[in-house]
Amino acid sequence: MSEAMPLKGKPVADGIKSRVVEKVNSWRSKGVEPRIDTILVAGDPASAYYADSKAKAAAKLNIAFHLHEFPESVTEDALLSTIRELNEDPVVHGIMLELPLPSHVSTSTLSAALSPYKDVDGLSPANRLAVVTGEPGLYPATPLACIQLAKHYGYELSGKNVVLVGRGKTVGLPLMHLLLRENATVTVCHSRTPDIGSHLRRADLAFVAVGRAGLVTLGMVHPNLVVIDAGMNETQSGKMVGDVAPDVANGVAAMSPTPGGVGTVTTAQLFANLMHAIELQKREHGEA
């Protein structure tokens, strides 16, 4: 058995970042300093890690990054008023709400408060609807990253049988709409699907976004399958692993690694969304 081609995220992310840098330079030459603000509530170590990696990526891209940190006991009202202030502040172009939030605050109330023009991870109702209808908007970064990864490595989606495992609000559901718009024939598997392998064995490509380490196993796949794994799970030893068991690489044509696959592209895509957000804001104010 030969090992699958690794669909590494770095070359895809590098391409996205170099286009972002061109746009950053262009905005700076017009006196606009691209800026993203992140709201981080204590209590979830992974969120703190992601916020830190965004700060580092922003610094490399010459993008201003502001972190708004809150204790776990923060009230929903305090978070809402921060979001409203950032919405109104013309020097802020993008707002990231790090999820998950503590259970006493409503993620949907806070998401709904985000200006759709600054909501760089596509959480607000207007942007969620835009993904469904194909209207212009800010689409969530991870589903966009999944599509970019497949396309970068030359995998055509139009007319292909694509199996999506997971129908979560952040990844699976928006990805389903993006795949349909790419003219893929999409089958969506979820927690009530009795035999996921029966679908994967007939698929050309599989996208997996569940949040269960090792959910997809070698017995479920076939040698021509292309697998893109968006899952991010932390093992007891603190290692990040995907939803697809590592030995699946011995039984498929190509597979994205975790870490170093979808997540790497997602971080870059978030800044591409920020560039798009600036364009939308300038257009909204008749300045572009």
Q: Does 122 bind ligand NAP (CB under 6 A)?
A: no
Q: Helices 262-284 and 45-60 meet at what angle, rounded to 10?
A: 70
Alpha helices, DSSP H only, in the chain? 10-29, 45-60, 76-88, 107-113, 125-133, 141-152, 172-181, 196-200, 262-284
Q: Does 124 bind ligand NAP (CB under 6 A)?
A: no
- Least separation, in Å, of the C-beta of 130 and ligand NAP? 18
Residue among 8, 66, 152, 167 that touches ligand NAP (CB under 6 A): 167
**Which residues have C-beta within 8 Å of that of residue 244, sequence separation ≥ 6?**
208, 214, 215, 216, 227, 229, 231, 255, 258
Residue nearest ligand NAP by beta-carbon distance: 168
Q: Does 210 bind ligand NAP (CB under 6 A)?
A: yes
Q: Does 8 bind ligand NAP (CB under 6 A)?
A: no
What is the contact mask toward ligand NAP in residues 126 to 165, using x (rule: CB under 6 A)? ----------------x----------------------x
Residue among 110, 179, 226, 232 that touches ligand NAP (CB under 6 A): 232
Residue among 8, 66, 152, 169 that touches ligand NAP (CB under 6 A): 169
Residue among 192, 235, 236, 237 that touches ligand NAP (CB under 6 A): 192
- Distance CA(57)–CA(54), nearest Å, equals 5
Q: Does 191 bind ligand NAP (CB under 6 A)?
A: yes
Residue 164 near residue 184 (C-beta atoms within 8 A):
no
- Distance CA(280)–CA(230), nearest Å, equals 28
- Distance CA(72)–CA(214), nearest Å, equals 31
In the region spanning residues 247 to 266, those forming contacts with ligand NAP, defined by CB under 6 A, are 262-263, 266
Q: Does 47 bind ligand NAP (CB under 6 A)?
A: no
Q: How far apart are the first and last CA of the chain?
A: 55
Q: Which two tokens stand for residue 225?
A: 């399958």
Q: Does 239 bind ligand NAP (CB under 6 A)?
A: no
What is the H or E stretch that residue 6 is in? Answer: strand 5-6
| Closer residue to ligand NAP, CB minimum distance, 163 or 280 | 163
Q: Does 15 bind ligand NAP (CB under 6 A)?
A: no
- Least separation, in Å, of the C-beta of 231 and ligand NAP? 4
Residue 23 near residue 271 (C-beta atoms within 8 A):
no
Q: Which residues bind ligand NAP (CB under 6 A)?
A: 142, 165-172, 189-193, 209-212, 215, 230-233, 262-263, 266
